[in-house]
Structure 1
């Protein structure tokens, strides 16, 4: 990383910058457009959750800078990443900022685009499949359903320092009245508070799926009710990165249907 100047002196950008979504982890879910951008990059700034299989698309001559960004772990400061990106573009590099999932869904892509534009750099964005979709899809269930869910709320359980985070009581009431699926990212560490507040507006019998390492060979998941969510995560040893899906669409998971059949015949 020391090879990049972080000087703020104004210069005319000569290179290019693309934010690329690497998807949830399965390299076969990488889009063709993303694979082409990775292959064309001369410098890649890569998040921890991007797999080696996806990095195999990069040129052998490209410089690869790993910049962290894993929930609960030490990460490279966001402002420093942006300085490195701007410096590399000014030096004429074809820069790719490679993020797990989608850059514009809890990937801080919006912040990076704003800061790069302020520096006079236009940014291309290539979407990736977000883990909130891939996780439940991998279990064979949808996020929307004509009978069970009329929409989806993508939420973060990890608030910015100094921010109290989402109003889960309001979200619960809205989800219940509007028949919405809740997809919660980065919610494991705060699951007790989240579940307690959701229970003020949603029945304790609301189905929940927790999916860890969505789409990867070592994906793990557990199915439970909202009232049992924290205990289920603890009992199954589930941690980050995990997606929590709350709502009746979880009834579409085959394992859930089998468990329900057993409960009815017990």
Structure 2
């Protein structure tokens, strides 16, 4: 190919490969990186290679591609629409490239981009948008630009308004344990697209300051209840704003379905005929212990963990928790909303068989700048909490993993 061709910029195009024959030569790490996108595109993939990485072999075993376990042969590119040449045999790569040129098959070569007739862009996707970046012979720069654009689209810092009408509805978004960096990228993007945000006290408050001025932010704790209970008032507010054609985000702490009453809101929206999207969040039951250096499970120490609400005491007739059964478990107990009742809970666990020397850690304001941790045992935790003046929100971890975490922290 003449030098002037090599100096010309590539012409960007999106290939629609669904159901069309794509030949991949070589089953190594290059193919391992490229194959998932081809599978997602619905291509009819034929892999030609004597060997393959375990990941590529797993794709073949799953029926995502057909694997011919042999070297390249002349004619392998017949009827192909697209070819990826990625073997370690330079002579075979050159021969396959020549066949692609003769058959007019667009061909990518991992070993010699100049000899290829196509280049693979650095590609990323976010909510139906495909970002593909080509910077000629600088793939690292392509990847860096791609990452910056995709991240901006995902977290809302790169605003790309939708010009087609959006469907009004409600997104129940789990905001994570409090640190704004721990919300999911989808949750952050939906926040950036919202018209109305109804927020809990335990949601990531710092994210609210980033919202555009036109976004109406409603503190769920300050919704006037009137003759309704608090949850009914929140449900009604969600329905009212969605029916007004607004994109509504219900921003919750942790995960919407882990003691977040998210299902109650989803059911109310379903009864009202309003579309509802649930965006899971990182639950404080695992993230806060982790942030404090405590693994809720650890090999040889705890093979299970149980998350329990402590908003009612063990002797309260409203309690649904089988405290005697929990006391007999050998794994980790994680208590949420239990600061005010930790004394009664600890006493119940000891009464039903858990050792009074069982380690306990209490983490207040987990993942936030004000995070602090105090340690004790089931016998001492009530006094420790009182002496340290621990206040909600706090997560309490009971079990030998507390000692493991302390050792790791040194």
- What TM-score do the two structures reach when normalised by structure 2? 0.55
* Structure 2 CA distance for aligned equivalents of residues 53 and 61 of structure 1: 17
Question: Do the aligned residues in 1 keep the contact of 2:312 with 2:341 (CA within 8 Å)?
Answer: no
* Structure 1 CA distance for aligned equivalents of residues 202 and 278 of structure 2: 18
1:54 to 207, 226, 230: 207
Greater relative contact order (Cα 8 A, min sep 6): structure 1 or 2?
A: 1
Aligned twin of 1:166: 321
3-state SS in 1 of match to 2:339: coil
- What TM-score do the two structures reach when normalised by structure 1? 0.83
Consecutive aligned runs of 4 or more in structure 1 exceeding 4 Å deviation: 255-258
1:190-223 Cα distance to aligned partner (Å, 9 max, x none): 1121111111221111111100100000011101
Aligned twin of 1:30: 183
Q: CA deviation at 1:18?
A: 0.3
Question: Do the aligned residues in 2 keep the contact of 1:41 with 1:59 (CA within 8 Å)?
Answer: no
Aligned twin of 1:223: 375
Aligned twin of 1:183: 334
Cα pair distance change 1:102/1:41, threshold 3 Å = same
* Structure 2 CA distance for aligned equivalents of residues 78 and 201 of structure 1: 38
For the aligned residue pairs, the C-alpha RMSD in angstroms reads 2.0
2:385 to 230, 233, 244: 233
* Structure 2 CA distance for aligned equivalents of residues 220 and 20 of structure 1: 26
* Structure 1 CA distance for aligned equivalents of residues 335 and 406 of structure 2: 21
Is the counterpart of residue 89 in structure 1 residue 208 in structure 2?
Answer: no
Q: How many positions carry a matched residue from both structures? A: 235
* Structure 2 CA distance for aligned equivalents of residues 255 and 241 of structure 1: 25
* Structure 2 CA distance for aligned equivalents of residues 169 and 21 of structure 1: 32
Cα pair distance change 1:257/1:85, threshold 3 Å = closer
Aligned twin of 1:68: 221
1:48-95 Cα distance to aligned partner (Å, 9 max, x none): 1224322134232111110129xxxxxx71100000101111111101
Q: CA deviation at 1:162?
A: 6.6
1:73-118 Cα distance to aligned partner (Å, 9 max, x none): xxx7110000010111111110100001111111111111111111
Aligned twin of 1:151: 304
Aligned twin of 2:73: none
* Structure 2 CA distance for aligned equivalents of residues 233 and 97 of structure 1: 32
3-state SS in 1 of match to 2:379: helix
* Structure 1 CA distance for aligned equivalents of residues 345 and 393 of structure 2: 17
1:130-185 Cα distance to aligned partner (Å, 9 max, x none): 11212211122211112111111111001499713423222112x2xxx3211100
